[in-house]
Structure formats: C-alpha cells, structure tokens
Copies of this chain bind each other. A is one copy, B any other.
Amino acid sequence: MRIAELGQAIGRTVELEGWIVSLRKSGGIRFLGLRDGSGRVQVVARESDLREDDWDRTAACSQETAVRIAGACRADARAPGGVELDLRKIEIVGASAEYPIQPKEHGVDFLLDRRHLWLRADRQAAILRIRHAFTHALREWLDREGFIGADTPILTPSACEGTTTLFETTYFDEKAYLSQSGQLYNEALAMALGKVYCFAPAFRAERSKTRRHLIEFWMVEPEMAFCDLDGCLETVEELLSSALAAVARRCPEELRLVGRDPAELEKVRPPFPRISYDEAIEILRQEGLEIPWGEDFGAPHEAAISKRFELPVFVHRYPTQAKAFYMKPDPDRPEVVLSADLLAPEGYGEIVGGGQRIDDGELLAQRLREHDLSDEDYEWYMDLRRYGSVPHSGFGLGIERTLAWVLRLEHVREAIPFPRMLYRLRP
C-alpha cells in the first residue's frame, strides 16, 4: 500500500515501505515521520505495544533509513492527510549514514551538489509532482483537441535560432548541433498531420547566469496548419489556463506546500490582455525604461510591462528586425511581424513565444538571404512553401519558466530534476 491511499485503509493494519524523515522521542513513545514518494505519514511507536526488537529498531531510525512497517491505520483530523498509524512491526531495509541534508538552512550550492538527495525533501518532491501534473495536463488538452504528438530531432545539421548559442558535436563525418527548437520540423509535420506538437528538451549554450536561464530546458511546441496569429493566441490561452486549472485541481496540497494558493491558478482564465509592441514601448517610457524602437526587451522591461497586469499579457507585433527570420510580416505594416510573446505576471518574464510563419516562398527566400542562412540547409524547409503552402502558426511554451511563475520559485533551477546551468553539469 502507498501512503497516498491510506484514507481507504482506516481501521485496518497495513504494510508500508518508505524512508524515515524524522524521529521524535517522548518517554515510552516515538513518533516516526515516514515518506514513500506518494506522501508522508506519522507513525506512532509505543513501547508497551511492541516486541522488544521492534521497539529497539525504532531507535535506529536515523533520517533516510529505509524501512518496511506494519501499522494500524486510524483517522486523525489533526494529521496531514487525516490519518496516522500505530506501529505494529518494523524492519530496517537500508540503514542511513549521517544524512548530509539537515532540517536547517543550507546554501544553494551545497544543495545543488547534492541534488540527487535534495530531491527527497518535501518541497522538492512536491515541485516535481506539480511538474508532472502540469506536463500531463498540457498533453491532455492537446490530445483532446486533436493535436498529434510528433517527435522532432535533437541532432540537426543547422541552426534554428542563430548560431552563437549552439552545442556542437561530431556526427560521424560531419558537424551536428543540438536542437534549440523543434519548430521548423514541426512545420513539416503540421502539413502532414494538421495540428501537431513536440515536447522535448532544448539546448542553449548561453553564458548567462540569471534566475531565468537553464542550459537544458523542456518546451512544448504546438504547430497548426490553417491558423493565423489570433488562432495561435487563443490556443495559448486555452492550453495554459486549462493546464493550470488541472494542476490546481490535482495538486492543491503540493501547491500550498510550495507557497501558491490553488485558487490563484484558477483565476488565470482567457482572454489574456493583449498589447502591441508599440504600446509596450509607451509603458516603458512612462516607467522611465525607455528603449529605442526596434530593440527586444530584457528582463527589467518585461517585469515593468507585466506588473501592470494581473494575468499573463501578450505583447504582439514586434519589430521585424528583433525577431527570427521565419516570422510573417503584418500585411498592414510590414515593419512588424505577426508574433507574440506571453509575459508571466509577477516579473517572471517570457514564458511563451510564437506567431504566424511566413507562407510565401519568395519572401522566405529573401529572408534566408538577409540572414545569411544557407540555401542548401533550408532547401527542405522551402519545399513547405512550394507544395501547398498554407497560413500556419505555432508557439513554444517553456516548462521551467512557467513553473517558476506558477510556484513563485526564486530560480528556474528548482523546476527541473537535474538542472544544467553555466558551469553546472553535475550530478
């Protein structure tokens, strides 16, 4: 039986396997905290109830000792989960040496060096359960809406978003690069399957050490044929709000433990506010953060814009020069593109980037030349404009950045089991 299921076992004696998180002694009674990955429960050991060897074993229960126990399950309104166990038998499965992570403040480098153990902490395990519930809910919405999950390659012969931040490797006799986005391949798949998504790790060799950057991060990237910018933004809204509502429903206790009231997530409902890049520039001017028209926003700019809104806010129609080569120009105003970024509230910055792609072959060829991208590398991508080109749009939603906002994390590093950051490749 697992701890999460104990509510169904009241009045019965059950067997559990797990790890000791705490031991408190009080005369002839010992209180053991037990976790098994599904939850946490208090086990009460009474000297008077136990055989001597079982009682002696409870004394050996240092932090993280692995045990197998039998206990009588009873309701206790004050206990987390509403149940408590009275110990009947205990067996030590694996002893634990002095556990390096104590219930005190450790420095973050100390903890990151021990990430393989730190993951066992209540807060870290709760974050991972929420991450699972969130990614599960994202897929669930996409699958229900008829999207086909299709895996795009990690090893690619050319760069999607510029060449300065690529990881390079030798692929037999040539160079290959780790993917920064599945988008270009997604576009081919959308022409075959209509609505698709990839859900995969992406890699950016950025020498930046901010609370928003991971070298290896996960993204979900939907791509839709016959879809314009408006359709794209509606998809972002529906996907994100439905996934957050699912997380609020499925992980209320974990959310509270991490410090987010589930009711706040349920308030994230469409429509999200939409402002143009030009309107954002005006906000920045008012805030004393003026930047020249045409430049992209940095973290302070995004924070200044998003603090005006309670919901995530779309900033659309960025200057063409600030965005990637494949963005479709606004037909009414070709100096801006039909793109949008979604900025999270509370200063957490960009969590979604996307928009409508160029569907005109001649314009795409011109853009490739302007960006000095090789014809040969993009010949296949040009084919998508030669054989039944259609309006199409898509976006990428960053998992860790979104979780950082949802869980009010100080740093994205806690949102992934084994973060990869500048100079941090271990454990």
Q: List residues of chain A with CB under 8 Å of any chain B CB.
A: 2, 4, 17-20, 36-38, 64-66, 68, 93-97, 99, 114, 116-117, 119-120, 124-125, 128-129, 131-132, 135-136, 139, 143, 146, 148-157, 167-174, 176, 178, 185, 188-195, 200-201, 203, 205, 207, 215-216, 218, 225-226, 359, 380-381, 383-391, 416-418, 420, 422-423, 425-427
Contacts and interface: CB of A to CB of B under 8 A. Distances in A.
Given A119-B189, A172-B423, A226 B153 contact: no
A125 B95 CA distance: 53
21 contacts: A18-B194, A37-B190, A37-B225, A38-B194, A66-B389, A93-B390, A96-B388, A114-B380, A119-B188, A128-B193, A129-B148, A151-B218, A151-B417, A152-B418, A153-B216, A154-B201, A155-B425, A167-B170, A169-B169, A171-B205, A380-B426
B156 A128 contact: no
A131 B148 CA distance: 9
Contacts of A215: 155, 171
Contact of A168 (B96, B125, B170, B200): B170
Number of chain copies forming the complex: 2
Contact of A192 (B120, B225, B391, B426): B120
Contact of A380 (B139, B417, B427): B427
Contacts of A150: 128, 131-132, 417
B157 A425 contact: yes
Given A96-B386, A128-B150, A215-B155, A191 B120 contact: yes
Contacts of A174: 425
Contacts of A416: 151
Contacts of A418: 152-153, 185
Nearest to A67: B388
A169 B178 contact: yes
A418 B179 CA distance: 13
- Of listed A94, A189, A384, residue having the most chain B CB within 10 A: A94
Contacts of A129: 148, 193
Nearest to A377: B426
Contacts of A172: 205, 207, 422-423
B119 A192 contact: yes
A426 B129 CA distance: 37
Contacts of A426: 157, 380
Contacts of A99: 387
A327 to B, nearest CB: 18
A114 B191 CA distance: 14
Contacts of A125: 192-193
Contacts of A18: 194
- The 9 A-B pairs at the shortest CB distance, nearest first, are namely A37-B194, A66-B388, A380-B427, A94-B389, A116-B188, A119-B192, A37-B193, A64-B387, A64-B388
A201 B388 CA distance: 31
A176 B168 CA distance: 11
- Of listed A156, A157, A386, residue having the most chain B CB within 10 A: A386
Given A168-B170, A178-B169, A192-B120, A388 B152 contact: no
A366 B427 CA distance: 21
A58 to B, nearest CB: 15
Nearest to A148: B132
A4 B117 contact: no
Contact of A135 (B120, B124, B149): B149
Contacts of A153: 216, 417-418, 420
Nearest to A202: B154
A208 to B, nearest CB: 12
B171 A169 contact: no
Contacts of A195: 37
Contacts of A37: 148, 190, 192-195, 225
A117 B383 contact: yes
